[in-house]
Structure 1
Amino acid sequence: MLEKFSRKIAVWLIKSGILENDNSELYGYAIQYLLLIIIPTINFLAYCIATHNNIIGLIILFSFLLIRKYSGGYHCKSSTVCLIFSTIVLIAMVFYANLMNFSPVIIITIILCELELIIKGPIISINHDISDKERIIYRKYLYVILAVYDIIMALFIYFNKIHLACSIAIVIITCSLAHMICMIGKNKEVYY
């Protein structure tokens, strides 16, 4: 469904003279990719505004995008499913960040999830290949990002902003779960 809509937008932009006619498939793909980022983000931000979770929502959104960029993880086969699933996952992270409280079990879970992200990351789909050099760079960025997030979580806890710390913690846990999904069943063939 999203693919057809993206192609129609690309054709309309070409007919309008905004885009050149030489590569409509590429334009359609780019529009689809843009919509896959914009639509879940708008839905998620609307949910955060409606539930008065603006700060937690922004922390989750930016933390998730940054970690996910450099750690990789599971991708849905259909763009429509991806759109729906992404929105649900983002909203679930806000919901659970509000329920979470830091405990020794959560701290151990975060440490294990960070280790999993670093050891296995980045997990990339066979449809999106990266070089060995890029893999090393992504892993270094991931080390730095996780170290910075650990410091930020510690500061949030120190200043008694537990829900803000939990918002970063839930992102780390969710990204690690996305990694683990790639390693089970038929997914092993699609990811490396």
Structure 2
Amino acid sequence: MIAFLSRIIADFLCRKNAIPDDNKEICAYGYEVLFFNLLNAPVIFFLGILLDKLIYSIVFFLIFAVLRQYCGGFHAKNTIVCTFTYIISYLFIVLLAGFDAISEIYTFSVCKWWCYSIIVLTSQNNNKSL
């Protein structure tokens, strides 16, 4: 559905000569990523409200968006697997960071380890340079 809508927008922009035909696929992919992120944000924020961790959710969303922009990321075969992986990552970080018994230093270390792991795991992406 998201891919279909993205292709329609890219076709429309090509017909209006807003983008060249050579860039139609790139434009469609860009809109697909944009729509996917716009759909994932409410899911994360809803989970944050549900878990009473909205501030953690906002921080996670901002850090994850920047990290993914510069490092690439895990490329799932479909959007369902991608969304599931995203939610699992969110729950792992937010629930670990939310334990009151864990000191702030430990929480920071876990978040730093997670960010480092993501960078190492995504460093093989040939389309993004670190």
TM-score normalised per structure 1: 0.49
The residue aligned with 2:75 is 76
- Structure 1, unmatched stretches of 5+, are 107-165
In 2: Cα distance, 1:38 partner to 1:4 partner: 16
- Who is 1:101 aligned against? 102
Tell me, in whole angstroms, the C-alpha distance in 1 between the residues paired with 2:41 and 2:30: 17
**Greater Rg by CA:** 1
**3-state SS of 2:98 partner:** helix
Q: CA deviation at 1:44?
A: 0.3
Encode CA deviations 1:85-133: one digit per residue, 9 max, x unaligned.
Answer: 22331233212212371387x3xxxxxxxxxxxxxxxxxxxxxxxxxxx
Give the 5 Å matches for 1:3-152: 3-11=3-11, 14=12, 20=18, 22-23=20-21, 24-70=24-70, 72=71, 74-78=73-77, 80=79, 81-99=81-99, 101-102=102-103, 106=106
More relative contact order in 1 or in 2 (CA 8 Å, sep 6+)? Answer: 1
- How many percent identity over aligned positions? 17
Q: Which structure 2 residue ranges, 5 or more long, are not aligned?
A: none
CA RMSD of aligned residues (A): 3.4
Q: 2:113 & 2:41 partners in 1: Cα distance?
A: 20
Q: Distance in 2 between matches of 1:84 and 1:19?
A: 37
Contact kept in structure 2, 1:39 and 1:83, CA below 8 Å: no
With the length of structure 2 as denominator, give the TM-score of the two structures.
0.66
The aligned residue for residue 113 of structure 2 is 173
